[in-house]
Structure 1
């Protein structure tokens, strides 16, 4: 993997290797044509760190799936959890432009149109993680936010960028999970 991002980050064990991940999340590695096509369809320039990661594995369930928070949400008092990270493409159910991708969450579930929803959560659609372009415009570097549908689509800031988000994901064993 290109080392422009994620310096000194060990991805060993980051991704789950289960059949569900392979079937519903992991797509073919994206080429520039696919990246351009997905960006055009979504209306946003994807973060370079996200593209770099997707060029090494295009989506999947994450073993490091918990992000610490200082605010409570409908999932927990001190963290949000993700199932998987959507890849760049259309062919997998959980890819950015797949049947349960970003536009689906906005159009069918009523999530706010603030950017690109890239990570689903264990709540089966009741909260999501997104690239929020509100402060940077469609071509800028988006923040990563949690949107809590169960709490009137409350937006909670998670990280200044995708790289920071990934590097701060923890194993769920580090949290008290009911």
Structure 2
């Protein structure tokens, strides 16, 4: 598969290999039919960079789990953390249409319906990473934002697109412990 995105990105040590990741995150590789079905269910066109990454590995826990911020939040003063990326599918607990996926977070936790929640955070539901379509429309290129349930669902801008978000993830060690 020739990459359109992530051409200069080294995925060595990006994914965290664990039985938990296999059990709860990693879906089968999505074909065009599955992608179309998921997009119809969610009501949003998924970014091409997200689809490309999910065709390399469809969801999973990540080693590089922190993204720098300029705003403090319920996690830290200078970054947010993610647990894993949700795959394109319905089978695994943490996939975009899974048991604890995007729809669940909006319906059960009251998260704003502004896009697709694609990454969970170590807070067990108290903050999430959103592909935010509120500025671009349902077929546009969404920004990536952190949504903090603990702070009245305040959004913190993280990246102009999904590829930039993935490339900006850092090792936890790069941040001072609180």
TM tier, smaller? over 0.9
Partner of 1:39: 39
- Give the structure 2 partner of residue 117 of structure 1: 117
Partners of 1:127 and 1:68 in 2: CA distance: 15
Deviations 1:4-59 (A, max 9, x none): 10121100110000000000000100000100000000000000000000001000
CA deviation profile, 1:71-91 (whole Å, cap 9, x unmatched): 000000000000000000000
What whole-Å deviation, never above 9, does each CA across 1:61-107 have from its counterpart, x for those lacking one?
01000000000000000000000000000000000000000000000
Partner of 2:12: 12
Q: Deviations over 1:108-129 (max 9, x none)?
A: 0000000000000000000000
User: Secondary structure, in 3 states, of the residue corresponding to 2:95?
Assistant: coil
1:57 corresponding residue in structure 2:
57
What are the Cα deviations for residues 116-148 of structure 1, in whole angstroms up to 9, with x where unaligned? 000000000000000000110000000000000
Do the aligned residues in 2 keep the contact of 1:89 with 1:98 (CA within 8 Å)? yes
The corresponding residue for 2:99 is 99
In structure 2, C-alpha distance between the alignment counterparts of 1:92 and 1:55, rounded to whole Å = 16
Q: Is the 8 A contact 1:25 1:93 kept in 2?
A: yes
**Over aligned residue pairs, what C-alpha RMSD do you find?**
0.6
Q: TM-score, normalised by structure 2?
A: 0.99
TM-score by length of 1: 0.99
Q: Write out aligned runs for 1:1-178 (5 A).
A: 1-178=1-178
Task: Report how far residue 2 of structure 1 moved.
Answer: 2.7
Q: 4+ residue runs of structure 1 moved beyond 6 angstroms?
A: none
Distance 2:160 2:20 in 1: 30
User: Is the CA contact (8 Å cut-off) linking 1:2 and 1:52 kept in structure 2?
Assistant: no
Count of residue pairs brought into register by the alignment = 178
CA contact (8 A) 1:102 1:117 kept: yes
Q: Distance in 1 between matches of 2:118 and 2:27?
A: 14
- State the alpha-carbon separation in 2 of the partners of residues 130 and 2 from structure 1: 27
Tell whether the 8 Å contact from 1:89 to 1:96 is kept in structure 2 after alignment.
Answer: yes
**Structure 2 regions of 5+ residues with no counterpart?**
none
CA shift for structure 1 position 177: 2.7
